[in-house]
Amino acid sequence: MIIGVPKEIKPNENRVGITPAGVREFSEKGHTVLIEKSAGIGSGISDEEYINSGAKIVNTAKEIFDNAEMIVKVKEPQSIEIEMLKPNQILFTYLHLAPDYTQTIGLKKSGVVAIAYETIEVDGKLPLLEPMSEVAGKMASIMAAYYLAKPYGGRGVLAGGVTGVHSAKFVILGGGTAGLNAAKVASGMGASVIVLDINAERLRYLEDVLPKNCQMIMSNIHTIEEEIKDADAVIGTVLIPGAKTPKLIRKDMLKTMKKGSVIVDVSIDQGGCVETSHPTTHADPVYEVDGVLHYCVANMPGAYARTSTFALTNSTLPFALLIADLGWKEAAKRYPAIKKGLNVVKGKITCEPVAKAHNLEYTPPEQVLE
């Protein structure tokens, strides 16, 4: 199979869909890898490293989209990339379709087989989302602490406090991978941390692994309302696989929060868990609503591109190799995890939460695999 890796064009996105080690794995199995010139520069990977691993460097994205049978990316295709997609081409990347009607319709019309990293599921876990959730969770607490500084619009509260002065209060919505990692970093800085989750078993686990400056609380509307009132930072990490994120913090709740407090909405890729959230970029990451600073960068791990690229590709490569070796249909038939990743197949929506989010017809993946 011919694998194509274009340079990411989303603003400030420096990750890349494959590393030289991945190129070598594909090459050893007889596949051809085309990589757009300078695609890996943002992650500290030179064209020469790719060439030495067996890749062919091409000058333009058009050459990638014209010749590749499978496109391997990091972020969802931008409008100019959707226009270059070909019927029957395989697109393997993060898609986050539930909050993105335009992209969903674009992929539907293109005739591609779109397989989403974020809905591939193994034993109830999302192995291709978890490494980026780790990065985003850790980064969320760093960003919250940074923007709490007065010069950047915050209250002027130091996350860990100092002797004789209270530390900051961090409230984390969701105790999954991102929430756990946000709590690790926030507690490591010395903040007072509250983690809210609806799963009692998960809360028991977090109680065991997190330090004593972290408290685990059962999540419901009342506890969310009460805990955010005196929070210095709120980090939203809520996730329902493939679906649009529920709005746990309504606009009217902001008026009860401290002026200069910070919200970091990690779940913005799936629509965000705060009613007043909208996607931002690394170039312009924050805005203020009712005195509360919002950080809603939709590709947070892109800021730490080298770490993120290697973490992501460690997880995506085995699945990409299966798809290349077997073809998408056989791979999905043999491996339920890959079948779960099917979001749009040749004009049909095969991920139920995406179809529901946009009120579009849903086609069970079993039907496209017949």
Please, are residues 86 and 112 in contact by the beta-carbon 8 Å criterion?
yes
Please, are residues 227 and 196 in contact by the beta-carbon 8 Å criterion?
yes
Task: Round to whole Å and give the CA distance between 176 and 39.
Answer: 32
Out of 96, 100, 197, 265, which one is annotated catalytic?
Answer: 96
Picking from 140, 154, 129, the residue whose alpha carbon sits closest to that of residue 242 is 129
Number of DSSP helices (H) and strands (E) in the chain, helices first: 15, 15
Please report which residue ranges of 53-129 form alpha helices under DSSP H.
61-67, 79-84, 101-110
Q: Is 269 a catalytic residue?
A: yes
Whole-angstrom Cα Rg for the chain: 21
Picking from 127, 16, 118, the residue whose alpha carbon sits closest to that of residue 64 is 16
Task: Round to whole Å and give the CA distance between 259 and 209.
Answer: 32
- The 10 Å Cβ neighbour count of residue 219 is 20
Out of 31, 265, 269, 358, which one is annotated catalytic?
Answer: 269
* Structural tokens at position 103: 């992209």
| 11 Cβ contact partners less than 8 Å away, ≥ 6 residues apart | 281, 282, 283
Q: Is 96 a catalytic residue?
A: yes
Please, are residues 178 and 140 in contact by the beta-carbon 8 Å criterion?
yes
- CA 135 centroid distance within chain: 9
Q: What does the buried/exposed string (b/e) look like for 228-257 if buried means 16 or more CB atoms within 10 Å of the residue's CB?
A: beebbbbbbbbbebbbbbebbbeeebbeeb
In terms of DSSP bridges, do strands 90-93 and 192-197 run parallel, antiparallel, or are they unpaired? unpaired
* Plot region of 156 (φ>0 → left; ψ -120 to 50 → alpha; else → beta): left
Catalytic positions:
96, 269
